[in-house]
């Protein structure tokens, strides 16, 4: 298994100027897989999860399970997770350092053992990312929370149903609460929840396990079950990988058929893609053709919680805006520091000005290849897209960020005609 360290010095070299053409299968969703993998902690037995993407964050989730006493067998994206022997409720610090989403095991461990010991996750490159809402929820659920030497120690002595309203919409906060409440007998209510497709996929799994969760608007009613059962589940397609490939098709004047997409999940992305000059043909519920229809046009984008425009697609659209004719405005409302790609895109000739949470992008005629640095997952994707259209050679350093969240992206792009190569050591 590759670890973050074994990837840390990898770079990509891209020779720009090739159109993306052909067809490609989108992988299962990273952000849907992580909570579903950790949901297995709720039960004793073997659960089967299908179409799990093989990427670093998934290995980290597996590491968590194994550190707790679980066992995972995997073959071609099919994960058999045995949680019979899980006996620990403390999560190792080095794992949480690698992946913030490790906090998703709080809910399941509290459900199974009534306690959890987990290091405080720090901020990360895209923002401070506090977890106050997660903690506030567990406190409402009867938890006593202590902070000891940089760890949270939470204990819930007696499980009881809860009525709780989130002060803000949080994806993993909602997931943690749902994971916990699924095991609590009686009716709980959560208000102001996130309704991202990944949250709905988790709800689907929890219902298969024996909980009864109904969602109306931003309210969930949860009828928990103390006797949850193992499950079999196929995770939903990755809407952000799909969106990234679609932007690539439009930017490069290409024509790509994407298989394994859920068109219901990508409405907002498609709308902006068409506004930007992309052509979209829905071939079936799971298959879509995306191509360049017109000259690239500027877009105005504001990121928002689902069903709004996803923050995870902001950087990729910024790459596209940087070569469109006119001025685009892109506002990041979810994370306070998610514009690192701007400085790298500027090295490639992009004309982008940042004013607070807004980026003003003045389209240039062309980008030029440069040596740039990947700073976070979606920023890496935006630099790859820029590299695909830039004149000459682009070198992207530190692409382990990309490996955390995309499954074999360079292989997929290569199959579509891109000239992209992974260099396992730094080139100078
Ligand atoms: N927030 C708080 N307090 C909390 C929780 C969140 O202030 O207790 C704030 C955050 O700091 C942020 C906003 O609320 O400003 C939204 O954060 P949220 O909790 O929704 O984000 P997350 O659950 O940590 C998930 C995805 C992210 C995605 C965001 C927003 C996973 C594992 N991660 O993060 O995915 O950007 O929702 O949709 O599901 C990515 O895949 O590249 C990625 C970063």
Per-residue confidence (pLDDT) for residue 182, from 0 to 100:
98
Per-residue confidence (pLDDT) for residue 1, from 0 to 100:
42
Per-residue confidence (pLDDT) for residue 425, from 0 to 100:
67
Mean predicted lDDT score pLDDT of the chain: 95
In ligand 1, the atom with minimum distance to the C-alpha of 198 is: 39
Q: Is the pLDDT of residue 356 over 60?
A: yes
Per-residue confidence (pLDDT) for residue 136, from 0 to 100:
97
Q: Is the pLDDT of residue 29 over 60?
A: yes
List 50, 122, 124, 168, catalytic entry: 124
Per-residue confidence (pLDDT) for residue 8, from 0 to 100:
54
Quickly state the pLDDT bin for 125 (edges 50, 70, 90): confident
Q: Is 124 a catalytic residue?
A: yes
Per-residue confidence (pLDDT) for residue 122, from 0 to 100:
66
Identify the weakest region by mean pLDDT among 83-87, 96-100, 226-230: 96-100
Q: Whose CA is nearest to atom 18 of ligand 1?
A: 170
Quickly state the pLDDT bin for 341 (edges 50, 70, 90): very high
Q: Is the pLDDT of residue 97 over 70?
A: yes
Among residues of the chain, what percentage have pLDDT more than 90? Answer: 91
> Once rounded to an integer, what is the mean pLDDT over residues 101-127?
90
> Once rounded to an integer, what is the mean pLDDT over residues 40-58?
97
> Once rounded to an integer, what is the mean pLDDT over residues 188-194?
98
Q: What is the 407 CA–ligand 1 centroid distance (Å)? A: 21
Per-residue confidence (pLDDT) for residue 273, from 0 to 100:
98
Q: Whose CA is nearest to atom 7 of ligand 1?
A: 130
Per-residue confidence (pLDDT) for residue 129, from 0 to 100:
84
Q: What is the 245 CA–ligand 1 centroid distance (Å)? A: 22
Per-residue pLDDT of 160-182, as tens digits, reads: 999 999 999 999 999 999 999 99
> Once rounded to an integer, what is the mean pLDDT over residues 63-81?
96
Per-residue confidence (pLDDT) for residue 402, from 0 to 100:
93
Q: What is the 336 CA–ligand 1 centroid distance (Å)? A: 11
Q: Is the pLDDT of residue 106 over 80?
A: yes
Q: Is the pLDDT of residue 144 over 80?
A: yes
3-state secondary structure the chain: CCCHHHHCCCEEEEECCCCCEEEEECCECHHHHHHHHHHHHHCCCEEEEECCCCCHHHHHHHHHHHHHCCEEEEECCEEEEECCCCCCCECCHHHHHHCHHHHHHHHHHHHHHCEEEEECCCCECCECCCCHHHHHHHHHCCEEEEEECCEEEEEECCCCCCEEECCCCCHHHHHHHHHHHCCCEEEEEEECCCCCHHHHHHHHHHHHHCCEEEEECCEEEEEECCCCCCCEEECCECHHHHHHHHHHHHHCCCEEEEECCCHHHCHHHHHHHHHCCEEEEEEECCEEEEEECCCCCCCEEEECCCCCECHHHHHHHHHHHCCCCCEEEEECCCCCCCCHHHHHHHHCCCEEEEECCEEEEECCCCCECCEEECCCHHHHHHHHHHHHHCECEEEEECCHHHHHHCCCHHHHHHHCCCEEEEECCCCC
Q: Is the pLDDT of residue 285 over 70?
A: yes
Quickly state the pLDDT bin for 216 (edges 50, 70, 90): very high
> Once rounded to an integer, what is the mean pLDDT over residues 67-81?
96
In ligand 1, the atom with minimum distance to the C-alpha of 175 is: 23
Per-residue confidence (pLDDT) for residue 121, from 0 to 100:
85
Q: Whose CA is nearest to atom 16 of ligand 1?
A: 170
Which residues approach ligand 1 with their CB closer than 6 A? Answer: 31, 34, 101, 127-134, 168, 170-173, 194, 198, 311-312, 334-335, 377-378, 405
pTM of the model: 0.96
Higher-confidence position of 99 and 1: 99
């Amino acid at each position: 298994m590759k670890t973050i360290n074994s990837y840390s010095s990898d770079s990509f070299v891209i020779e720009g100027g090739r159109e993306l053409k052909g067809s490609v299968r989108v992988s299962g969703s990273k952000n849907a897989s992580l909570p579903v993998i950790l949901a297995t902690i709720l039960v004793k037995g073997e659960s089967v999860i299908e179409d799990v993407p093989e990427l670093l964050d998934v290995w980290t989730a597996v590491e968590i399970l194994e550190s707790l006493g679980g066992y995972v067998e995997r073959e071609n994206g099919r994960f058999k997770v045995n949680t019979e022997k899980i006996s620990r409720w403390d999560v190792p610090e080095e794992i949480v350092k690698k992946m913030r989403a490790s906090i998703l095991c709080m809910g399941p461990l509290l459900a199974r053992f009534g306690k959890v010991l987990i290091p405080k996750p720090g901020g990360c490159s895209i923002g401070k990312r506090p977890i106050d809402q997660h903690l506030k929820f567990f406190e409402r659920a009867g938890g006593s929370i202590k902070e000891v030497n940089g760890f949270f120690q939470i204990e819930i002595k007696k499980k009881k149903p809860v009525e709780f309203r989130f002060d803000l919409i949080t994806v993993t906060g909602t997931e943690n609460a749902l994971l916990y409440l699924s095991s609590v007998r009686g009716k709980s209510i959560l208000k102001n929840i996130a309704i991202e497709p990944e949250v709905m996929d988790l709800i689907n799994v929890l219902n298969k396990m024996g909980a009864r969760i109904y969602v109306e608007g931003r309210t969930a009613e949860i009828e928990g079950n103390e006797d949850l059962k193992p499950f079999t589940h196929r995770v939903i397609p990755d809407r952000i990988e799909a969106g990234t490939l679609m932007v690539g098709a439009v930017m490069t004047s290409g024509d790509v058929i994407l298989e394994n997409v859920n068109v219901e999940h990508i409405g907002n992305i498609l709308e902006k893609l068409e506004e930007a000059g992309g052509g979209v043909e829905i071939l079936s519920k799971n298959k879509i053709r995306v191509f360049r229809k017109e000259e690239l046009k500027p877009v105005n984008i504001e990121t928002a919680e689902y069903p709004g425009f996803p923050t995870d697609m902001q950087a990729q659209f910024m790459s596209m805006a940087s070569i469109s004719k006119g001025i685009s405005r892109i506002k990041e409302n979810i994370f306070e520091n998610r514009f690192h790609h701007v400085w790298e895109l500027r090295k490639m000739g992009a004309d982008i000005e940042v004013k607070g949470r807004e980026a003003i992008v003045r389209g240039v005629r062309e980008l030029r290849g440069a040596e740039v640095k990947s700073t976070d997952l979606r920023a890496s994707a935006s630099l790859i897209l820029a590299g695909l259209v830039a004149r000459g050679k682009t070198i992207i350093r530190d692409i382990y960020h990309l490996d955390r969240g995309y499954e074999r992206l360079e292989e997929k792009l290569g199959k579509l005609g891109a000239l992209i190569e992974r260099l396992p050591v730094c080139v100078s």
